[in-house]
Each structure stands twice: as structure tokens, then as C-alpha cells.
């Protein structure tokens, strides 16, 4: 479930409503934000299925006047390194002028009858700031099917720092709206810092 808003108190309340280790998540996020006022935020809890396990995650995105903060918390079952279940939480603070892309992909039903303002059935928010890149390579070839020469490799490099998928069916229409609102706020903030 995604929650968005614009105050530190609203951020704490959204983290608590998510119900996912709220004390741990709130402490990590508040330490990263520090004393800066919150411009916008998004709290997104996600449940995934990993083999025979159900795993939960929470991602908190915070926009301040100068930074984009991302916090991610995962829970882990007991394993060889720990006799008890545990959670891992991390935060990253990125200066707004480092954000190189804010991509918002929208999936709409019945595009031939789309009306402006209709809520997409799903959105994917991808944010890039150069921390993580994916390199996809494959052998290069020429157009001759009988050619046996080595043509080297061809490929592409893709910035893929953060990707967050929110769907109306899985997360509810409010979560989709809130993701759209956060994406717009972040996009506008990055545009303002590039002037």
C-alpha cells in the first residue's frame, strides 16, 4: 500500500499505517531526513512470494528541497547466520542534481477509449542517479548467415537504481494516485535544480 504526503508527521503516520516494523523503518528514515522539511513522500509496502516463503518489503521515498532519500527494509527468516528472524534496513540520500532520470510508465486499459484523467491500472516509477547500471551484452553478428567471423559484442547500458511497481488491482487506486503525485513532485524538483 502506498501513502504519500508532505509533512514529517504525515510521513511517520504513513509508516505506522503500513504496519511493517514501523519503529525500525521510522527511525532509519527520520535519521536520513534529519532536520530538513519533507516536501513529499511515498510509503510502499510489497509482499512477494519466494519459493515457499512469503516475504514482505517496504520502500519509503522522501523528497526534501535538496535531496531524494530512499529507504528499503526487508525481513529475513532465521538462517545459518542468525538463529532468529531479522530485518535489514538501508537508506540512501541523493542530491537532487544527481538524479538523471525519472521515468513513469503507465499501463491503461482500452487505450482506444482513454479519457484524460483516467487512472492507469498500473504504474512503474523508475528513478536513476547513476549508482547502479546494468550492462546487457550479446555476440554481434553481420547480416550474412554463413559468416564465421568474430564481430565482437554489442549491448546496452541501462541506469536502474530504483524501480517501483504499483497496480490498482494489487495496491488499490489510492496507491496509484499517490505514486503519480510523488513522481510529479520529484520530476518537478529535478527540473527546478537543473536550471
Domain count for the chain: 1
User: What is residue 131's predicted lDDT score, i.e. its pLDDT?
Assistant: 67
- What CA–CA distance (Å, rounded) separates 72 from 55? 13
- What integer is the mean pLDDT of 173-193? 92
Residue 151 forms part of a structural domain:
no
pLDDT tens per residue, range 62-97 = 999 999 999 999 988 888 888 898 899 999 999 999
In DSSP notation, 18-54 reads HTSSHHHHHHHHHHHHTTPPEEEEEEEEEEEEETTEE
Residue 17 forms part of a structural domain:
yes
- What CA–CA distance (Å, rounded) separates 28 from 82? 22
Residue 37 forms part of a structural domain:
yes
User: What is residue 149's predicted lDDT score, i.e. its pLDDT?
Assistant: 85
Query: Does residue 159 surpass a pLDDT of 90?
Result: no
Query: Does residue 9 surpass a pLDDT of 90?
Result: no
Residue 81 forms part of a structural domain:
yes
User: What is residue 67's predicted lDDT score, i.e. its pLDDT?
Assistant: 96
Residue 15 forms part of a structural domain:
yes
Residue 39 forms part of a structural domain:
yes
Residue 41 structural domain: 1-96
43-52, 109-118, 122-131, 141-150: which is most confident: 109-118
Residue 117 forms part of a structural domain:
no
28-42, 102-116, 122-136, range with the lowest pLDDT: 122-136
pLDDT tens per residue, range 126-140 = 999 976 555 667 777
User: What is residue 47's predicted lDDT score, i.e. its pLDDT?
Assistant: 73
30-34, 137-141, 158-162, range with the lowest pLDDT: 158-162
At 146 the three-state DSSP class reads: coil
**How does the average pLDDT of the chain come out, rounded?**
87
Asked whether 62 and 44 are in contact (CB, 8 A), the reply is no
Residue 195 forms part of a structural domain:
no
For 174, phi and psi rounded to 5 degrees? -65, -40
Amino acid at each position: 500500500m502506498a501513502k504519500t504526503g508532505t509533512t514529517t508527521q504525515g510521513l511517520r503516520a504513513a509508516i505506522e499505517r503500513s504496519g511493517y516494523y514501523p519503529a525500525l523503518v521510522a527511525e532509519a528514515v527520520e535519521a536520513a531526513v534529519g532536520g530538513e522539511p519533507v516536501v513529499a513522500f511515498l510509503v510502499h509496502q510489497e509482499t512477494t512470494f519466494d519459493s515457499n516463503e512469503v516475504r514482505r518489503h517496504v520502500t519509503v521515498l522522501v523528497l526534501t528541497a535538496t535531496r531524494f532519500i530512499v529507504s528499503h527494509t526487508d525481513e529475513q527468516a532465521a538462517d545459518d547466520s542468525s538463529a532468529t528472524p531479522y530485518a535489514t534496513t538501508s537508506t540512501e540520500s541523493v542530491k537532487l542534481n544527481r538524479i538523471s532520470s525519472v521515468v513513469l510508465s503507465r499501463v491503461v486499459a482500452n487505450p482506444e477509449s482513454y479519457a484524460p484523467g483516467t487512472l492507469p491500472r498500473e504504474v512503474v516509477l523508475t528513478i536513476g542517479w547513476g549508482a547502479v547500471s546494468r550492462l546487457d551484452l550479446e555476440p554481434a553478428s553481420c547480416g550474412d548467415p554463413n559468416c564465421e567471423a568474430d564481430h565482437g559484442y554489442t549491448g546496452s547500458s541501462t541506469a536502474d537504481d530504483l524501480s517501483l511497481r504499483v497496480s490498482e488491482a494489487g495496491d488499490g487506486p489510492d496507491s496509484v494516485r499517490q505514486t503519480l503525485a510523488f513522481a510529479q513532485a520529484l520530476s518537478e524538483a529535478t527540473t527546478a535544480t537543473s536550471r
